[in-house]
Chains A and B, each alone.
Chain A
Amino acid sequence: MAQFRIPGPLRRLSDGQVTVAVEANDLASAIDALDARYPGFRDRLLDEKGELRQFVNVYLNDEDVRLGSGLQAKVGERDEISIVPAVAGG
């Protein structure tokens, strides 16, 4: 199963879990699965149009998904999906 890495600010939603395993084929369905297990994640990660929120970066195996296929990015069994707050640096 693919593993989400949950950042500190969102761990209240995941009962303190740092990693959460989900069954999914692509990033969109992975987020759905995460939200089904811990309700609230979908709202935090996606805006009203269903796109990734401005201040959320998601990395699939260290690659920024916005540089690739976005929410359609294929997710494999051993993939790691990191959610990282975007406001940092500079």
Chain B
Amino acid sequence: MPKLLGLRCRECGAEYELQATHVCEMCFGPLDAVYDQAALKKIVSRSRIEQGPSSMWRYCDLLPVEDSVAVVTLGEGFTPLVKAERLGAELGLRNLYLKNDSMNPTNSFKDRVVSVAISWARAHGFETIACASTGNLANAVAAYAARAGLECFVFIPIDLEPAKVAAISVFDPNLVAVRGNYDDVNRLCSQLIESTPWAFCNINIRPFYAEGSKTLTFETAEQLGWKLPDEIIIPIASGCQFVRHRQAVRELIEYGLVRGERVPAFTGAQALGCAPVYNAFHSDNPDRVLPVKPDTIAKSIAIGNPSDGVYVNRIARETGGVVEAVTEEEIVDAIRLLARTEGIFTETAGGVTIGVLAKLARAGRWKGDETVVAYVTGHGLKTADVLASANGHSSKRVEIDPTMKSFREKVSIS
């Protein structure tokens, strides 16, 4: 029995057959995958999940890929949920956890969505995989296309960080560097879907792709002992994953996987240099997200025209969360804070998340015993250049001659 029934418009409820399309013809609203919930309720259980693989595919029943499909996997997901004792102590949080998604095969959470998207696309006869990307997605798409043996076209803004370009290029995709920012790339690709027979992961097969994000929250709940946290801090780019995390919580409750039914507060994190969702959240009309021209070192989340921004604000409000933003300096400080206290090196987007966590904690948002989880979604080596340009060398660095004398002169060992 297929578990997927079709696609449904999130806005007007119009229904569509399963196909590579992402936009409602009636109202232009986003389409979501619809599952046979009654059938799933009979089979989904904690023990069934716990017997699954040590990857996100342990939640395959809740993903839009039928059982008969051979999935394209590099072992993504089931990343560590670490209790952050030392960072928590600095911020006055006794139950702070970090979901370290930089531990994925291409070092960002994008491996989750891409594994689902390419599995779906290959099963539906697509021979070429494509995407519009701020870097991390292109990296994942290039790697998984190589793994699947599919043709690959990735479209990136021309000013992408060199480390990301290298990590994409090694997989030998067709790499199209577009003279423009991410929003320009995305618009171009949105128009290209009509003249190419390609599966654009984050455009025409977005309803399937997006579903992969849910696994981050499924895992967080499982790793907390099938409990939901009190609050989750999530970086906001398009807002796509934020919306799926809310859906994941709905499913965890619906299928009886978690104890209790209290929905966590959903809090979003943006860089002030690209904060259209934050701007709207704090305006008179949070339902109107006005586009901005991005100018931030947090390039992986620098989307000036976020497609799901309105939904982020609704979810944040409904769940008692907020949308907060940090300066460029606060981003770099947060990268260092996380590294110094927890041994985790995150990219600039992670700096945004931890920066917002720190800002809210210092402003007294929490009493101290709440369970707060921050999603660290990408690895620091992807954006290491920002540390070099911001006096990246350690303040404890010294240069010495290879002699005992020089060592004793320059280094104090107390």
Question: Which of A9, A54, A90 meets B237, CB within 8 Å?
Answer: A90
Q: Are B30 and A64 in contact (CB under 8 A)?
A: no
* Binary B-proximity of A34-62 (CB < 8 A = 1, otherwise 0): 00000000001000000001111101001
Question: Which of B240, B290, B291 meets A90, CB within 8 Å?
Answer: B240
Contacts of B290 in A (CB 8 A): 66
Any chain A CB within 8 A of the CB of B202?
A: yes
Any chain A CB within 8 A of the CB of B190?
A: yes
Q: How far is the CB of A8 from chain B (nearest CB, A)?
A: 5
Q: Is the interface of A mostly helix, strand, loop or mixed?
A: mixed
Any chain A CB within 8 A of the CB of B22?
A: yes
Q: Are A89 and B132 in contact (CB under 8 A)?
A: yes
Q: Which residue of A lies closest to B202 (CB)?
A: A89
Q: Is the interface of B mostly helix, strand, loop or mixed?
A: loop
* Binary B-proximity of A50-90 (CB < 8 A = 1, otherwise 0): 00011111010010101100000000000000101111111
- Cα–Cα distance between A9 and B190 once the two chains are bound (Å): 12
- Cα–Cα distance between A89 and B185 once the two chains are bound (Å): 9
- Give the contacts of B167-218 with A (CB-CB under 8 A): 182-184, 186-187, 189-191, 193-194, 202-203, 206
Question: Which of A12, A59, A67, A90 meets B306, CB within 8 Å?
Answer: A90
Q: How far is the CB of B113 from chain A (nearest CB, A)?
A: 10
Contacts of B24 in A (CB 8 A): 9
Contacts of A9 in B (CB 8 A): 23-25, 28
Q: Are A55 and B29 in contact (CB under 8 A)?
A: yes
Contacts of B193 in A (CB 8 A): 8
Give 13 pairs: A residue, B residue, CB < 8 Å, sorted on A. Answer: A55-B27, A57-B305, A62-B184, A84-B190, A85-B28, A87-B30, A87-B206, A88-B22, A88-B203, A88-B307, A90-B238, A90-B306, A90-B307
Besides A55-B29, A88-B307, A89-B202, 11 other CB < 8 A contacts? A53-B28, A55-B23, A82-B191, A84-B190, A86-B305, A87-B23, A87-B307, A87-B308, A88-B22, A89-B190, A90-B307
